[in-house]
Amino acid sequence: MLKIDRRIIFLVIGVCTLLPLLYPVGLPIKISPEVRSIYDYIETLPERSVFLLSIDFDPASKPELHPQAIALLRHAFRKNLRVVAMTLWVSGTGMADQLLTQVAHEMGKENGKDYVFLGWSPGGSAVIINMGQDLYTAFPSDYGGKSTKGIPVLEGVQSLKDVAYAISLGAGNPGIEAWYVFGKDKYKFELGGGCTGVMAPGLYPLLRSGQINGLIGGLRGAAEYESLVGKKGRAVAGMDAQSATHFAIIILVAMCNLFYFSLRQQQGSVPR
Amino acid sequence: MDETSLGAWMATGLTLFIFSFLYKDNPLFKLAEHLYVGVSVGYTIVKTCDAVVVNQIYKPIVDQGEISLLIPVAIGLLMLTRYVPKAAWMSRYAFAFIVGLGSGLAIPRTISSFILKQIEDTVRPLLSMAGGDGLTFSMNVLNPASSINAVIILVGVSSVLFYFFFSIEHSGPGRVVARTGIIFLMIAFGAAFGYTVMARMSLLIGRLTDLIEFSDASYGRPTLWLALLTIAALVVLSRRAASMPSQSE
Amino acid sequence: MIFLRRQLPLLITMITGVLFVGQYYVPHPSSELLLTSATKWLQIIGGFALVLGVSSLFHQHAAKIRRQEAGWGYSVVLYAGMLATIIAGALAKGKESFDGIMTGFGWVYNYMMVPLQGTMFAILAFFIASAAYRSFRARSREAAVLLVAAVIVMMGRVPLGEYLIPLSGDVSQWILNVLNASVRRAILIGVSLGAIALSFKIIFGVERSYLGGGKE
């Protein structure tokens, strides 16, 4: 039984993912403090504050971070904040542009007046430092090629010091850590983070020390934020499948250990 | 067929070709895999040309006359001499500049963010226990900011740091500290595994959600037809491989 | 000549390294101007570095096609995909959409690149399940601790687990915020110390492997 064909396990996982997506149950989702603190902070921001969203992920992490981006943008637009979006990952540029345009269109916001997409620039941490020194040197034009100097949404913004709240949705490096080390450390804006499930445990030291004021971790975090914003989307829809697959893994691991221990007992005491 | 439907068929087909790897490595998967690399590289090249060449080099130098930007262009070109064997030594200047600059930028910022700030936050909660009217000690385990958790964090940080310090032998009281470190490490790795499972499953959920969306009749049900096509192709390929055992692929 | 090939690059590294470590602590406007210019230059040089990374891929697959090695047809597919994407990108001036209308380049991105990249990583879900079944055994006390922590976190982070056993949610939060945070903090401090030590070794010329290129 321990040497079962792995394709059977693949089938089990496939079924556990597919069935809850086709027949959802909709269990309640508890909100964790680290997600709530981001929500509460955005709630306290006055209208027309500058909100920087750095969409630092590529299509590989889209299922986890795309719902986070959408929920955050809906919240920011609802609070009438000035949204400045950008990305540090080249392969995420098209996706970032699209999701921003989609949510802005849905909330009736105007490009240049209520939001701007600065696009991508190579250099990672160098871009962050450059934005901290002078935003217009880092991004002389926005993604559409229009000059960034003089657009209404960036009025009064010279550098990162003028940003009220920045959130980095990161899938690796450059991501949240880079935004703190090269950004918040010197330019002192408030920083929050959203990340994939793989990165989340590693960011808790920064959360505990207050270096980031909140953390939205993985699809679960996205589902919590969607519930807070009040518009359930893909993340909440995926939670049932998440429950099913987690329990499938727990059962598989339990079975594996059961067979292992019964095998060991059968073979008598084995030297460790 | 409009571009959205065509796109739905393309996306579904490529997704199923890659999923076919779960059954066995096969030409459909190899095709999709090589296409992935090609398209990704092409996209990166286009974006780099657009963002860097047009917006950061050409426009500022030609339209705004920032001649000083020719220096980094020269450094970048020096970097490319790495591919010319006779002139490869010139690329060293470019790498020396980049590495020196990168190290210089990173050192003080890393010290401030990841060492000083982290140590400060480990020690500060313990100092704040001694208030104006004596020592306070909160025992609420579920509140991460309580005193008991501050003590646990201190024990965890020091025992793990001690465990990784291999310059002295872990014997006697040192052994107890190192073993405590190992237990903390195992718990953290368990949490990391749990979150990794969560992340991987989320990615699968995302793809299957797209496949379900594209199984709709308005696109012509690509999921259904292409799934049948992929299964049929796999059957044909495995029959062909079974009937020609002596030929290598 | 040795000076030009070996000493001068190391000197450049040391000067730029020391200069920018010092820059962090000097608040004078000219120091800030130096930082702005240097990071602007890094953005431009970063673009060339991407070209470097991509060209090694060209050589690898070009060699395969030239030598007609097994599977060279797939290398042709790779080149075809790349060329088609570049042509689409050039025609669309590097943009995925104009005023809300998707370009050919945008079509390639949305219906080829996104599904391909997404699925490549999605199949890992299956492999982690199979690996967990085959090798996640409590062979020792430490492994058992790891197993228990993993099960608690997996259960506590999904709605079904919190519904069945509400305590699992609270315990997994405690594990993450206290136990996991302390370990990750220690690892962060340790790794940062190591990185800084390496950076100093590079600046002072003790570590030279980054130079590469050419003899010596």
Measured at the alpha carbon of residue C60, what is the angle toward residues C54 and C63, in degrees to the nearest 5? Answer: 135
Q: Which of C134, C135, C132 is nearest to C151 (CA)?
A: C132
Percent of chain C past pLDDT 90, that is, above it, reads 64
Residues B156/B184, Cβ–Cβ less than 8 Å: yes
Per-residue pLDDT, A272: 56
CB contact under 8 A, B11 and C145: no
Please answer yes or no on whether A98 and C110 come within 8 Å at the CB atom: yes
Query: How far apart (Å, rounded) are the C-alpha atoms in residues A7 and A10?
Result: 5
Q: How confident is the prediction for chain A on average, in pLDDT? A: 93
- Average pLDDT on B233-247 reads 82
3-state helix, strand, coil in chain B (%, to 5): 80, 0, 20
pLDDT of residue B89: 85
If contacts are CB pairs under 8 Å, which of residues 142-171 in chain C contact chain A? 147, 150-151, 154-155, 157-163, 169
- The pLDDT assigned to C73 comes to 87
ipTM here: 0.92
| Average of per-residue pLDDT across C159-181 | 94
Tens of pLDDT, residues B202-236: 999 999 999 998 888 788 888 889 999 999 999 99
State whether residue B128 sits within 8 Å of chain A by CB. Answer: no
Range 141-160 of A in CB contact (< 8 A) with B: 141, 145
Residue B249 has pLDDT above 50, yes or no: no
Confidence of residue C215 (pLDDT cuts 50, 70, 90): low
DSSP symbols for B162-213: HHT-TTS---THHHHHHHHHHHHHHHHHHHHHHHHHHHHHHHHHHHHHHHHH
What residues of B are in contact with residue C145 (Cβ under 8 Å)? Answer: 183, 186-187, 190
Beta-strand pair B130-131/C97-98:
unpaired
Chain C neighbours (≥3 Cβ pairs under 8 A) are A, B
User: pLDDT value at position C52?
Assistant: 78
For residue B205, being part of any structural domain is answered with yes
**pLDDT of res. B167:** 77
Percent of chain B whose predicted confidence (pLDDT) is above 90: 51
Residue B74 within any structural domain of the chain: no
Cβ–Cβ gap C184/A9 under 8 Å: no
Q: Inspect the interface and report whether the beta carbons of B188 and C179 lie closer than 8 Å.
A: yes
CA gap A56, A183 in Å, rounded: 15
pTM: 0.92
Q: Which residue of C has its CA nearest to A244?
A: C160
- pLDDT: which is higher, A92 or B87: A92
Residue B133 has pLDDT above 80, yes or no: no
Please tell me if residue A237 touches chain B, with a CB cutoff of 8 Å: yes
Question: Which candidate from A59, A98, A260 shows the least CB-CB separation from C118?
Answer: A59
Domain that holds residue B150: 128-213
Is residue B52 a part of any domain in this protein? no
Residue of B162, B187, B189 to mutate when probing chain C, most C C-beta within 10 A: B187
Alpha helices in chain C (DSSP H): 2, 8-25, 29-66, 72-91, 104-108, 114-122, 124-135, 141-156, 159-164, 166-174, 181-203
pLDDT at C119 over 70: yes
Task: List, for residues B2-13, the tens digit of each pLDDT value.
Answer: 888 899 999 999
Domain count, chain B: 1
Catalogue all structural domains in chain A, each as residue range(s) with its CATH number. 33-235 (3.40.50.620)
Average pLDDT, chain B: 88
> Which chain C residue's Cα is nearest to A252?
C133
Confidence tier at C31 by pLDDT (50, 70, 90): very high
Mark the ranges of chain A whose per-residue pLDDT is less than 50: none
User: Helix H segments across B50-141?
Assistant: 64, 70-80, 91-110, 117-127
Average pLDDT of the residues in C169-176: 95
Given a cut of 50, is residue B19 above it in pLDDT? yes
**Which candidate, B24, B144, C18, places its Cα nearest to that of A33?**
B144
| Closest-CA residue of chain A to C119 | A60
| C15 neighbourhood in chain B, CB within 8 Å | 100
pLDDT value at C134 more than 80 = yes
Considering the domain boundaries, does residue B139 fall inside one?
yes
Q: Is residue B30 part of a domain?
A: no
DSSP string, A132-201: HH-HHHH-SB-TTS-BSTT-GGGTT--SGGG-SEEEEEESSSSSHHHHIIIIIHHH--EEEEEE-TTTHH
CB neighbour class for B201 (10 Å; exposed up to 12, middle 13-18, buried from 19): buried
List pLDDT tens digits, range C36-68: 999 989 988 888 888 777 777 777 777 777 777
What pLDDT does residue B246 have?
A: 55
Instruction: Please tell me if residue B128 touches chain C, with a CB cutoff of 8 Å.
Output: no
Closest CA of chain C from A228, distance in Å:
16
Q: Does B130 contact chain C (CB < 8 Å)?
A: no
Predicted local confidence at residue A243, as pLDDT: 95
Q: How far is A267 from chain C (nearest CA, A)?
A: 15
Helix (H) / strand (E) containing B134 = strand B134-135
Chain B, 189 to 208: residues with Cβ < 8 Å from chain C are 189-198, 200-201, 203-204, 206-207
Q: What is the mean pLDDT of residues C72-91?
A: 92
* pLDDT tens-place string over residues B160-194: 999 998 778 888 888 899 999 999 999 999 999 99
Q: Do C184 and A204 touch (CB under 8 A)?
A: yes
pLDDT of residue A269: 61
